[in-house]
Amino acid sequence: MTINILYFGLVAEAIQCSQEKLVFNNTTSVKEIKKILVDKHNVLEKLSYQIAVDQKLASDNQILTTASEIAILPPFSGG
């Protein structure tokens, strides 16, 4: 299973990457993706960010599919 990861704003700047693909042998969850990304990009451990799956904020236990689009979003404020 291949999942496309998109990085935005300060997160993209911190890891110097705007997108990448990750390959998995089995189904995976958002929680597992977070661990893999922190292992790969240590700076994420120090950043605050949210994960969206298919343009909706995701919970840690959400299961991903090959069609899932993952976005790593920096903190944002509204008005």
| pLDDT score, position 61 | 95
Distances (CA, A) of 70 to 9, 56, 75: 15, 9, 16
Sketch the domain layout of the chain as residue ranges. 2-73
In the predicted structure, residue 79 carries a pLDDT above the cut 60:
no
Q: Which residues contact 18 (CB under 8 A, 6 or more apart)?
A: 6, 7, 8, 12
pLDDT band at 77 (very low <50, low <70, confident <90, very high): low
| pLDDT score, position 12 | 96
The CATH architecture assigned to 2-73 reads: Roll (3.10)
pTM of this prediction?
Answer: 0.87
Half-sphere exposure of 72 (CA within 13 A, CB side): 28
| pLDDT score, position 78 | 59
- Structure confidence by residue, pLDDT tens digits, 22-76: 888 788 899 999 999 999 999 999 999 999 999 999 999 999 887 788 999 988 7
The dihedral region occupied by 25, where left means phi > 0, alpha psi between -120 and 50, and beta the remainder, is alpha
